[in-house]
Amino acid sequence: MTIIIYVFSAVFFLLAAALVFTWWQRRHPGALLLAATYAMAAALALLLHAWWPLVIGLLSAWSLRLMGLDPGAAVARKQDPPT
């Protein structure tokens, strides 16, 4: 179980790094919030050696994306032709 926690924490840290890079390029506040969510969930999972921070972090990131704070949603809205 420990290896699974390490693997998913590493994936969450990579997602956080990619989102920080996205924030640095576009200055979208949602990217920074998502990066912080993923990084905190991964750090807590590693510090506590538990899986539940990863689940809570994933659900929190999913709820942020549902609220429209996903940087990809802003790009998709700008590319839609006006009707």
Mean pLDDT, 10 residues at a time, the chain of 83 residues:
94 96 90 95 96 96 90 64 56
Number of domains in the chain: 1
Chain mean position to CA 76? 18
Query: What is the extent of the structural domain holding 42?
Result: 2-79
What is the Cα–Cα distance from 42 to 23, expressed in whole angstroms?
19
Q: What is the pLDDT of residue 55?
A: 96
Q: What is the pLDDT of residue 80?
A: 55
3-class DSSP state of 59 = helix
Q: What is the pLDDT of residue 73?
A: 64
Q: What is the pLDDT of residue 48?
A: 96
How would you class 38 by CB atoms within 10 Å of its CB: exposed for 0-12, middle for 13-18, buried for 19 or more?
buried
How would you class 42 by CB atoms within 10 Å of its CB: exposed for 0-12, middle for 13-18, buried for 19 or more?
buried
Q: What is the pLDDT of residue 70?
A: 81
Q: What is the pLDDT of residue 68?
A: 86
